[in-house]
């Protein structure tokens, strides 16, 4: 439940992004263009694949998510922001056509019709989340931030939008924007977002993992099933193309590792 922040204001709706609004990771399509443009080395790809393998086998506890955060910090350190901006811009408007859940798009529209701001809260890089949020009509986004010095990523994560940090950021935004958190809504698929769900008066588990389903059952949180993914382009009009800096952090580790691991496995099978 929320604290005193924003109790006198209007409610908002907070959405996790990956597997809550979008049926796959928001970073899924970036691995191939990054590799093609020389940003991903073979060594980095193998390490990402191993990290994903451990994640799949053992789950996403805090220790393993910290390991993935550290891996991604080291991975992007030194990357040229201008080069990444160009790749992401091209990917967003020509390659990546995110598959969004139709139910999520409708729910976002319903919240807007009710006069509530919609906020996307994701562990993926803030500047990756922002253009996706714009396409979805979100009013604000909260994402992981990576430091940039002299036009390059240092690898220093200045804000990690994961677990309890999501709740902290939501409270700060509520105080800034005057949201009534007790009257607000939140949606997520993962047990790592329990703190985020607890921050509002109306939490919802969306396609929940096993642990979140158990928690939702114990706390009588509603469970929603989103099952109709549609092409984002078919649901919302695309704005003119514009640059978007990719603060590549944490959220991309799972998707990137999955792509690389699956690719390596296919090569072994067909060899």
Q: Which residues contact 253 (CB under 8 A, 6 or more apart)?
A: 48, 51, 52, 55, 68, 69, 71, 72
What is the band of 36 on the pLDDT scale with cuts at 50, 70, 90? Answer: confident
The confidence score (pLDDT) of residue 14 equals 98
Q: What is the residue-averaged pLDDT of the chain? A: 78
Is 80 tagged catalytic? no
Establish whether 127 is a catalytic residue: no
pLDDT-derived band at 134 (thresholds 50, 70, 90) equals: confident
Looking at domain 12-270, which CATH architecture does it have? 3-Layer(aba) Sandwich (3.40)
Query: Considering 3, 16, 61, 90, which one is annotated as catalytic?
Result: 16
What does the pLDDT look like over 178-205, one tens digit per residue? Answer: 999 999 999 999 998 999 999 999 999 9
Q: Residue ranges per domain, the chain?
A: 12-270
pLDDT by residue (tens digit) across 40-49?
766 665 555 5
* Mean pLDDT, rounded, for 141-148: 92
18, 127, 180, 193: the active-site residue: 18
pTM metric for this prediction: 0.78
* Structure-token pair, residue 35: 């590799």
pLDDT digits 0-9 by tens, 200-233: 999 999 999 999 999 999 999 999 999 988 876 6
């Amino acid at each position: 439940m929320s604290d005193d922040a924003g109790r006198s204001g209007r409610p908002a709706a907070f959405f996790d992004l990956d597997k809550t609004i979008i049926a796959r990771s928001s970073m899924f399509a970036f691995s191939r263009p990054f590799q093609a443009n020389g940003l991903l080395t073979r060594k980095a790809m193998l390490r990402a694949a191993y990290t994903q393998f451990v994640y799949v086998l053992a789950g996403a506890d805090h220790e393993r998510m910290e390991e993935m955060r550290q891996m991604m910090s080291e991975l992007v350190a030194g990357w040229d922001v201008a080069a990444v901006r160009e790749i992401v811009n091209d990917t967003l408007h020509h390659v990546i056509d995110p598959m969004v859940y139709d139910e999520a798009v409708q729910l976002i529209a319903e919240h807007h019709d009710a006069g509530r701001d919609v906020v996307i809260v994701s562990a993926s890089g803030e500047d990756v989340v922002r253009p996706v949020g714009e396409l979805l009509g979100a009013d604000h986004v909260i994402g992981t931030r990576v430091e940039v010095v002299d036009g390059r990523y240092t690898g220093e994560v200045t804000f990690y939008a994961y677990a309890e940090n999501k709740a902290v950021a939501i409270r700060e935004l509520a105080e800034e924007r005057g949201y009534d958190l007790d009257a607000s809504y939140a949606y997520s698929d993962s047990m790592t977002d329990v703190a985020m769900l607890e921050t509002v008066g109306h939490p919802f588990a969306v396609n929940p993992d096993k642990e979140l389903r158990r928690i939702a059952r114990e706390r009588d949180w509603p469970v929603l099933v989103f099952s109709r993914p549609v092409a984002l382009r078919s649901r919302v009009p695309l704005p003119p193309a514009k640059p978007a800096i990719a603060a590549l952090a944490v959220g991309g580790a799972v998707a990137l590792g999955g792509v690389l691991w699956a690719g390596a496995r296919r090569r072994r099978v067909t060899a």
